[in-house]
């Protein structure tokens, strides 16, 4: 079975985020008020062929930690489902 999985990678708490900080500073000039913090990150949307949800999650978690994120500076969260995609 094919399971949609989304991996979100963000900088760890305490690690400087120049991209997020730059966006944060730019927002008032663009007329967007009320935003008190911005953290930039990446998301990865995958279809994973596995026997069940648990296996799909385990596979995604392993690759998120080994490849998609650098644990020295980043956290990866893995969840089933991908709002951008419908299961084929």
Residues that bind another protein (CB under 8 A): 14-16, 18-19, 22, 67-68, 70, 72-73
Closest alpha carbon to 56 in 81, 76, 75: 81
52 vs 71 by CB, closer to another protein: 71
Smaller CB separation from another protein, 1 or 27: 27
* Closest to 80 (Cα-Cα) out of 8, 9, 4: 4
Report the C-alpha gap between 27 and 20 in whole angstroms.
Answer: 11
Q: How far is the CB of 22 from another protein (least distance, A)?
A: 6
In the complex, least distance from residue 73 CB atom to another protein, rounded to whole angstroms = 5
């Amino acid at each position: 079975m094919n399971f949609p999985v989304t991996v979100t990678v963000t900088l760890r708490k305490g690690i400087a985020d120049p991209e997020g900080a730059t966006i944060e500073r730019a927002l008032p000039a663009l007329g967007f008020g009320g935003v008190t913090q911005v953290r930039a990150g990446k998301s990865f949307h995958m279809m994973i062929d596995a026997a069940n949800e648990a296996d799909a999650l385990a596979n995604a978690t392993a690759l998120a930690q080994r490849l998609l994120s650098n644990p020295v500076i980043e956290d990866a969260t893995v969840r089933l489902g991908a709002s951008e995609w419908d299961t084929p």
